[in-house]
């Protein structure tokens, strides 16, 4: 149960980070923190006191891989943005209206 609470805290921290930070790398860290929180929630719900449900394990394995893929993808975006603006500050990308 405590890990479920921790997972929720992680998700909130991640959303806070994305909402307030301007550095694109920080934003990606925020996404990864949310991802970790969701995974933690899955595993903590799969635990019945004696053993863990293998279904949740397989879900989380794939989810970790997906999280890593998203991170790699987002970092590629940062590279491209950096090539154009010379900065990893998301505020430089504010020509679009958020």
Site for other proteins in 21-40 (CB under 8 A): 21, 23-40
**By CB under 8 A, residue 89 contacts other proteins:** no
Q: Which of residues 42-81 bind other proteins (CB under 8 A)?
A: 42-47, 49, 51-75, 77-81
7, 40 contact by CB (below 8 A): yes
Angle at 21 between CA 16 and CA 22, to 5 degrees: 150
**Least Å distance between CB 1 and other proteins?**
9
**Least Å distance between CB 22 and other proteins?**
12
> Which residues, other chains included, contact 47 with Cβ-Cβ below 8 Å and sequence gap of 6+?
none
């Amino acid at each position: 149960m405590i890990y479920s609470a921790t997972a929720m805290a992680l998700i909130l921290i991640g959303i806070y980070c994305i909402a307030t930070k301007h550095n694109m790398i920080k934003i990606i860290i925020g996404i990864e923190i949310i991802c970790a929180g969701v995974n933690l929630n899955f595993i903590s719900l799969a635990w019945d006191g004696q053993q863990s449900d293998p279904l949740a394990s397989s879900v989380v394995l794939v989810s970790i891989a997906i999280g890593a893929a998203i991170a790699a993808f987002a970092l590629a975006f940062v590279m491209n943005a950096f090539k154009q603006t010379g900065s990893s500050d998301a505020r430089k990308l504010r020509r679009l209206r958020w």
